Amino acid sequence: VIRPMGFWFYQQGLGQLLFILSSVLSSVFLFIFGLGGIFKAIAIRDKRLYYLLAMAILTPLIIFITVVETRYRFQIYPLLAIFAGYFIVALSINEPKWRQEKMLWLAIVLVFLNGIIDLLLNLDKIKERFGLFF
């Protein structure tokens, strides 16, 4: 989740920790609201947004097939930013009901479930890396 700003290894100590935290928070924000925007576009069947959705799916597709390194797979981030903006505007229109927005909660659950699975699968590597702070 922290890859778009994954240059944390150039920092040291508290600066490194703050860099990682800001990277995680901004990435989680982008993924939650970007996925929420994608889900919202699908739910309301806005045909104009289907073109962006197709681009979001097809743009990284060739990279997934040809490149193994994950750092080259993030062409989707600008499209997630567009969908995040769309979703934030949609939420602001229905401001009193944003807590009831199913697409928001679905995106939150998916992002955090993915994060928990990733954490559990890489726990040893995370302990090793965070040993640098303590």
| pTM, two decimal places | 0.64
Question: With the CA atoms of 50, 91, 102 and 42 taken in that order, what torsion angle do they form, in degrees rounded to the nearest 10?
Answer: -10
**CB under 8 Å to 58, separation ≥6 — which residues?**
none
The pLDDT tens digits of the residues spanning 35-60 come to 888 888 888 887 777 887 887 777 77
The pLDDT tens digits of the residues spanning 101-130 come to 777 788 878 888 887 887 788 788 777 766
The total number of structural domains in the chain stands at 1
Domain that includes residue 60, residue range: 3-130
Model confidence band, residue 133 (pLDDT cutoffs 50, 70, 90):
low
Q: CB count, 10 Å around CB of 3?
A: 13
Pick from 5-9, 16-20, 23-27, 89-93: least confident: 5-9
